[in-house]
Amino acid sequence: MNYDTNKLAELLFPDVTGTVAELEEKYPERNLKEGARVTRFAPSPTGYLHIGGLFGALVDVLTARATGGVAYLRVEDTDKKREIDDGVSAIINGFNSFSIDFDEGVTGFNTEKGDYGPYTQSQRAEIYHIVAKELVQKGLAYPCFCTADELSQIRSEQEKGDALIWGYFGKWAKCRDLSLEEIEKNIQEGKPYVLRFRSDGQEDKRISFDDIIRGKIEMPENIIDEVLLKSDGIPTYHFAHACDDHFMRTTHVIRGEEWISSVPKHIALFKACGFKVPKYAHTPQVMKIDEEDGTKRKLSKRKDPEAAVSYFVEEGFPKESLIEYLLTLLNSNFEDWRRANPKADAFSFPFNLKKMSPSGCLFDLVKLNDVSKNVISVMNAEDVYSYIAEWAKKYDEDFFNVFTADPEKSKAMVNIDRESPKPRKDIAKWSEVKEYFSYMFDEFYAPAFELPENIQKEDAKAILESYLKVYSTEDDKDVWFSKIKDLCEPLGFTPNVKEYKKNPELFKGHVGDVSTVIRLAVTSRKNTPDLCSIMSLLGKEKIEARINNVLKSL
C-alpha cells in the first residue's frame, strides 16, 4: 500500500488513544515461579456446561495446580448468536457443583476477581481496538468493504476453480489494495466494513509447532486475510484469542482439538501483534459408544442426557465421583496414584499434560457407576447422610421428609456395612437410595414375597414360624446368627455350607437359604446389607408384622 497507515489508523479509530505499550504495562508478565503455567478455560455462554467442558476445565485447573500456576475463567461472549440469557450462571453453577475452583476470572453474573480483567470479552472492546489500531499503523490490517453477496461470489468462483484453499486472500482479496482515497470515500458513504488481517503468508510455506499432547504438528502457513473485527467492532474468536491470551499472560492454551486447524492463523496473528506465541495443547473429544450401532461418537447434547454436567447433579452423583472418574480418563497413571494415595484430594494429583492420550476418550456411564460406588463406599455415614439429604431436598421432597424425619436412624441405616475395612459398594448415586433402602420406610415399602425355586412353601413357613419364637430385639450379630444356625437342623437344613456342598442330597438347603427366607420376609429382597442391623433398626413391631403377613400369605 502506498499511503500513510497512520492516517488510516486515525480514520478508522479516531477515538482510540491508548497504546499497546500501555497495555503491556497494565498487564505485566506474571510474577510466578519458574515452570508455573497459566491456563484458562474460555467457554462461550451457551447456557449449559458440556461434560467436555468440565473435562477441559479440569485439565486447566490441574495443570495450573501441578505447576504452582494460575487457572482462570474467561467468558467468550462475542458470538451473540450462540448466546442465551444468563448463560454464564449455568456454567458457573456447573463448576461450583463440582468444586472446580478457578484462581481468577469470572465468578458470577457481573462479578470477577483478578488483575488481568475484564475477563468477559464483551467488556474488552477497548483492548481489541488498541491492538487493531496498531496493526493498521503497522500496515498489517485494512478495512474490507465486501458485501455478503460479494463474498459468496468469491466463494463460488473458488469452488468452481481449482483453488486449494477457499477464503479471502491473494487475488480474491479485493480490498487489500484499496487506496486511502477509496477507503475514505467508502467510509464517508457509510459503507459497513470489517477489519482484516494483511497476511504475508505464502502458499508453499509450512509452519510447525509442538502440541504438548500431540507432539510436532506441521501445517501450511496461513495465507488468509482473516477478519479481526466484525463490522460492529466486535472481534472474531481468532483476534480475541491473540489479544486475550497475551494480555492475560496465558502460558498454555489448552483447548479442544477442533481448534488445531486454526493454529497457523493464530501463530500469524500473535507474531503480527508482536506477542509471544503461547504453548498449545489440544485435548481430545469426549466420546461414547452409541447404544444402537456400537460406533464411537461425540457426546451429543440432543441425544445424550449425560452430555450436560447438570445431569450428574440431578442424578445425585457425588462431585467426588465424577471428578475421580474424569481423572481416570485424563491420565492413565491416575489409578496407580490413587492406590498409593487412597485418601488424597483428587486435585493434588500431579497431572501431566504429556501423559494425556491424543485420541478421543470414552465416557462410560457403567464405569462411572463403578467408580462412584467405590468413592461412596469410603465416605463416612455422616457425610453420606448429609449428601443424601441435600440431594433429596432439591430433587425428591417426599423422600427428603421421610429420610430426615429421624436423622439418627437414617445415619445408622447408611452406616450399615460402612466405616469398616471392607465397606459395601452398592450405591452409585443418591437418586438410588430411596429404592435401595425402600424396605426401611413404610412409606416406600411395597412387600413382594417371592420364594426362590429351591425352597418349598412349607419349609419357608416352618422357618419363619420357628424364627418368630426365638427372635429378640436384644440379639447382637453373633447371637442373631447363632439363632439362625440353630434353626437349621431341626428343619432339615444344615448350618454348614461346606457340608451341604459335599452332600446336597442330604439336606433341604443350608444356613444361607434359611437366612434368605427371613431376609425376604423382612425386606422382600434376596440381597441386602447386614440383615441383623436392618432388623434392629426396623424394630420388633415391624419385623413381627412383616413376618406374620408373609406367613398369612403362604
The residues that touch ligand GLU, with contacts defined as CB under 6 A, are 42-44, 76, 241, 255
Which residues have C-beta within 8 Å of that of residue 336, sequence separation ≥ 6?
A: none
User: Which residue's CB is nearer to ligand GLU, number 3 or number 259?
Assistant: 259
User: Which residue's CB is nearer to ligand GLU, number 175 or number 263?
Assistant: 263
User: Which residue's CB is nearer to ligand GLU, number 255 or number 434?
Assistant: 255
* Three-class secondary structure assignment of 414-426: HCCCCCCCCCCCC
* CA of residue 327 relative to chain centroid, distance: 10
User: Which residue's CB is nearer to ligand GLU, number 257 or number 306?
Assistant: 257
What is the DSSP secondary structure assignment for residue 475, as one 8-state letter? Answer: -
Which residues have C-beta within 8 Å of that of residue 468, sequence separation ≥ 6?
A: 544, 547, 548
Q: What are phi and psi of 263, to 5 degrees?
A: -55, -40
User: Which residue's CB is nearer to ligand GLU, number 40 or number 519?
Assistant: 40
Q: Which three cell numbers stand for residue 265?
A: 492463523
Helix/strand/coil percentages in the chain, nearest 5: 50, 10, 35
User: Which residue's CB is nearer to ligand GLU, number 44 or number 186?
Assistant: 44
Q: Which amino acid is at 325?
A: Y
CA 78 to each of CA 25, 44, 105, 232: distance values in angstroms, whole numbers, following the listed order: 25, 8, 17, 11
CB of 82 to ligand GLU, least distance (A): 9
CB of 271 to ligand GLU, least distance (A): 18
User: Which residue's CB is nearer to ligand GLU, number 40 or number 129?
Assistant: 40
CB of 255 to ligand GLU, least distance (A): 3
- Geometric angle at alpha carbon 425, from 423 and 429, rounded to 5°: 130
CB of 411 to ligand GLU, least distance (A): 43
CB of 347 to ligand GLU, least distance (A): 21
Contacts by residues 158-167 (CB-CB < 8 Å, ≥ 24 positions apart)? 164/203, 165/203, 165/220, 165/223, 165/224, 167/224, 167/225
CB of 520 to ligand GLU, least distance (A): 54
CB of 241 to ligand GLU, least distance (A): 6
Distance from C-alpha of 298 to C-alpha of 157, rounded to nearest angstrom: 34
Distance from C-alpha of 412 to C-alpha of 65, rounded to nearest angstrom: 38
User: Which residue's CB is nearer to ligand GLU, number 39 or number 524?
Assistant: 39
Give me the residue whose beta carbon is nearest to ligand GLU.
255
CB of 38 to ligand GLU, least distance (A): 14
